[in-house]
């Protein structure tokens, strides 16, 4: 899919009326999600191309955070 002139992830995030986090660095997305997600949250990733690769990375980061949290119990 070719990018549209004047449209970016930041542009779209700026027009969403609910809390949204735009992370321009693909490799930083999973860690960012894991740092802000709380039990019961719904995480939605949108984009074209490689965005489908984020699901497993996000789950792994969330599990790692949960494991670190339970280690202190």
Q: For the segment 30-70, what is each residue's pLDDT rounded down to a tens digit?
A: 999 999 999 899 888 877 778 889 999 999 999 998 888 66
In a domain, 8, yes or no: no
In a domain, 34, yes or no: yes
In a domain, 6, yes or no: no
In a domain, 2, yes or no: no
- How far are the Cα atoms of 6, 21, 63 from residue 70, in angstroms, in the given order? 45, 26, 10
Q: What pLDDT score does 72 carry? A: 58
- How far are the Cα atoms of 1, 39, 47, 52, 59 from residue 15, in angstroms, in the given order? 21, 26, 15, 23, 27
How many domains in the chain? 1
* Whether this model's pTM surpasses 0.75: no
Determine the distance from the C-alpha atom of residue 42 to the mean position of all C-alpha atoms in its chain, rounded to a whole number. Answer: 11
In a domain, 11, yes or no: no
**Domain containing residue 29:** 24-71
In a domain, 54, yes or no: yes
In a domain, 60, yes or no: yes
């Amino acid at each position: 899919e070719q990018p549209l002139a004047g449209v970016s992830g930041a542009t779209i995030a700026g027009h969403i009326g609910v809390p949204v986090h735009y992370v321009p660095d693909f490799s930083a997305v999973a860690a960012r999600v894991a740092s802000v997600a709380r039990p019961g949250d719904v995480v939605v990733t949108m984009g074209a191309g490689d965005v489908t690769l984020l699901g497993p990375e996000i789950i792994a980061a969330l599990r790692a955070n949960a494991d670190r949290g339970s280690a202190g119990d």
